[in-house]
A and B are shown apart, each in its own frame.
Chain A
Amino acid sequence: MYALKQNAETSDQQLIAAVLDGSEPAFAALIDRYKDRLFRLLSRYCRDPAECEDLAQEVFLKVFRKLDTFQHESAFYTWLYRIAVNAATDHMSRASRKRLRLVEDDAVLDLGPRDHAAASPDAPLLRAELAAATRKIVDSLPVKYRTILILREYEDLSYTEIAAVLQCNLGTVESRLFRARQRFKQALERLHPELVPNGPAGPTGGPR
């Protein structure tokens, strides 16, 4: 058994070497180190905590099985994110085969047009509505746009980190993110013109 004194300073590389040597505490330390981040990422793909937990467990088990193939060419968390994004994407396609979800469902349409003429995006009500609409629209986007928006906007990854997770080049990241934001804006304009900045009925709309 690999003897390892685990503390906050123990590097990922040391933990990985210990796990590969059969150390269960090292694997536990690795899980503890990344479970919060993983849950945060998977929350953007899942609707309920149980689904999120199942998916997170699936990801960590995949990590455990495939750890000997990790090349240390990128940071461990980008490798973990790659596995998580792939698992979430597979999960979504499995789920969508079970039940076709309509893009323009419940809350997005239920919000309906409201008078935000005098409201600012900082107003709590508008922020909550914008957040709900944002989540719904992101959920409805094609998976490649959804993923890149999640990685950039929710996970705050840099272009380089996103490129490492998605295994593509920086140019692809930039152009895909640009297109994803355009698609997002178009959907927001279509579904919630009142929430679009400087849109026809937007909070700062009107003649410029």
Chain B
Amino acid sequence: MTAHTDERLLHRFCDGELTAADAAAFRARLETEPELRRLLQDLQRLRTGFAATGAAFAPPPGFTAGVLAAARRLPSRAELREAELGAGVARLCRRLLVAAAVLFGLGLLWHAGVFGEGRGDSLQAAPGDVQREMDRLDVRIQDGGATAGRRGRGGR
């Protein structure tokens, strides 16, 4: 058994957390193992500081009456439940409003083309521009075909 396991066992023994059988076995070990006995004494001495600590504060006279008076000033349980429900609904509404505002803002940014894939890259263009672009592509295709033909002949 490791020293660490022994120490943990020791703490459980000291705290009365071992079963009767385990405690008896541990007591038997204490008889034969001086090091374990020393660790037990150390722990017990360390705990004397807690046992020696002075008395706790006591409730003053009239404490119960004071709490009852304060409790009387509290809203009733039904009112508290209503208030909690109201607060929950208000919280939900607030979150929905924030989400809607964020979505609206994102929509505006998208509309303005901030994200690149937005309206700025749409196919909306003047018919003249479309025609010019088609002509340019035709020229490129034709140029590409002629160049390929020249390469083919030159390669033979």
- Residues of A with Cβ closer than 8 Å to B? 20, 24, 27-28, 31-32, 35-36, 39-40, 42-44, 46, 49, 52-53, 56-57, 60-61, 64-65, 68, 121, 127-128, 130-131, 133-135, 149, 152-154, 158-159, 174, 177-178, 181, 184-185, 188, 195-198, 203-204, 208
Contact = CB atoms under 8 A, between A and B. Distances in A.
A197 B38 CA distance: 10
A49 B57 contact: yes
A-side interface mostly: helix
Interface residues of B, number: 36
B46 A188 contact: yes
B59 A174 contact: no
Contact of A197 (B41, B63, B68, B71): B41
A197 to B, nearest CB: 4
A121 B72 CA distance: 50
B63 A56 contact: yes
B28 to A, nearest CB: 22
Contacts, number: 113
Contact of B11 (A42, A57, A130, A181): A181
A134 B59 contact: no
Interface of B: 7-8, 11-12, 15-17, 38, 41-43, 45-50, 52-54, 56-60, 63-64, 66-68, 70-72, 74, 77, 80
Given A39-B57, A177-B15, 10 more contacts: A20-B77, A35-B63, A39-B59, A53-B59, A56-B63, A135-B53, A174-B11, A178-B11, A181-B43, A198-B41
A159 B17 contact: yes
B17 to A, nearest CB: 5
B47 A153 contact: yes
Contacts of B17: 158-159, 174
Given A134-B49, A153-B50, A65 B74 contact: yes
A60 B67 contact: yes
